[in-house]
Structure 1
């Protein structure tokens, strides 16, 4: 029995357990070394580009093991039909447009969950990170019944800082602290990362009305979105609206 929902749906996105949803080559197309924008996507995370598909396959297998042990959950994030793809064309029913990864670490002994997201560069600036945050908060407090959800970013990552502060404020959360030299960088060869952390409690979440727009294990996962992103509006927004990724490890933060 899985403690995590296998699928989820938010207004513009759908989520599927990653090791079942994508194969190594589909994931590697985004994580490979040398892909344009991959270096930028991983600038403020501990995740590094994959050198070959075998590394991607091993990571997916690890994700499956962690899911089975109820220690971590990783979901592949897809656009719902009607939402514009990177070229601005509406996604058709049956299309699978993979835009990133949502994740959570379940820290059971602390009754705490740490959440993260990795969005591929063509899909920054659309507000998907905050939409994904609501889905993971619903899992945290309504399924796993823990008391605290946390998220963090490295110092200097103003993109993630801006979008995190937006949805943390929505739920009346707070900054948890600023931790100097918190995470090693480049295997210890570079200056360690400073980390800024935020928390939302179960009481905060309930008082803010929860996340009624999030559906867990919906019967019709690819159901078309009712309100697709307005790309003309999104393209005029500063990139900090969405951010590179949450936390210290991108999808594993």
Structure 2
């Protein structure tokens, strides 16, 4: 039901499972050992840097179980070779689609390593997962939720939502859960008909 691999113009999205990524390599990314400022990356995310490879292995196993159950599909984001520079073969981050079947809504989420910020990968990956949500999973809407104060996510989300005719639903008090305790969050949605009308015009 949930795809294992997706290609966009510039990206390869591959299921984030133990079969598709080396645990130690992914641990290096999620712990900051790969040289990233991991605290800057995770500042507004619902998870903290990984402390041990065991934590990373358990995380990947949990994602594999969620995928098998149809609850969540997380993908590695890798730029294709071409004009993006020397980092083409590296993992840029991950993007996910979590179906909420009872609400017929898919929640989109993404995080990218700092060297890959500002390249438009957010919009490109989300557009493709929205297509999967509507055309493959037959959902009625996609939603994006980001922590209040996350300026980078706000700008990228507003651009994506405007592109597909969606809306900012509002600021939700104490909706965000993660490190540091509850915080306010912003919720955005794009409905199936909004996506369909604007995706066609976008082609």
TM-score interval w.r.t. the shorter chain?
over 0.9
Alignment partner, residue 200 of structure 1: 190
1:13 corresponds to which of 11, 14, 17: 11
**May I ask how many residue pairs the two structures share in their alignment?**
201
* Contact 1:103-1:117 at 8 Å conserved across structures: yes
Q: For 2:134 and 2:201, how far apart are their aligned partners in 1? A: 10
User: CA 1:83 to 1:26, structure 2 compared with 1: closer, same or farther past 3 Å?
Assistant: farther
Structure 1-normalised TM-score? 0.75
Question: What is the Cα deviation at residue 29 of structure 1?
Answer: 1.5
State the distance in 2 between where 1:164 and 1:153 align. Answer: 9
**Are 1:31 and 2:30 matched, yes or no?**
yes
- Give the secondary-structure state (helix, strand or coil) at the position aligned to 1:186: coil
Greater RCO (Cα-Cα under 8 Å, separation 6 or more)? 1
- TM-score (structure 2 length as normaliser): 0.93
Distance between the aligned counterparts of 1:97 and 1:75, measured in 2?
Answer: 14
SS of 1:209's equivalent in the other structure is helix
Deviations 1:130-184 (A, max 9, x none): 1111111011001000101000111111111001000100111011121012124
2:195 counterpart SS class:
helix
How far off is 1:209 after superposition?
2.5
SS at match of 1:172: coil
Residue 28 (structure 1) shift: 0.9
For structure 1, list consecutive stretches of 5 or more residues without a partner in the other structure: 214-253
Q: 1:4 to 1:208 in 2, by over 3 A?
A: same
Q: Which runs of 5+ in 2 are unaligned?
A: none
Tell me, in whole angstroms, the C-alpha distance in 2 between the residues paired with 1:104 and 1:26: 23
Task: Give the match for residue 199 of structure 2.
Answer: 209
1:103 to 85, 92, 96: 96
Q: Matches of 2:47 and 2:183 in 1, distance apart? A: 13
Secondary structure at 1:29's aligned position in 2? Answer: helix
Query: Structure 1 residues 122 and 103 mapped into 2: Cα distance closer, same or farther (>3 Å)?
Result: same
Deviation of 1:33 after TM superposition, in Å, equals 5.0
Q: CA-to-partner distance for each residue in 1:34-87, whole Å, 9 max, x for gaps?
A: 654100001111111000111001110001000000000011111111142xxx
Match of 2:86 among 73, 89, 97: 89
- After superposing on structure 2, the runs of 4+ consecutive aligned residues of structure 1 that deviate more than 6 Å are none
2:45 and 2:178 in contact (8 A); partners too: no
Alpha-carbon RMSD: 1.8
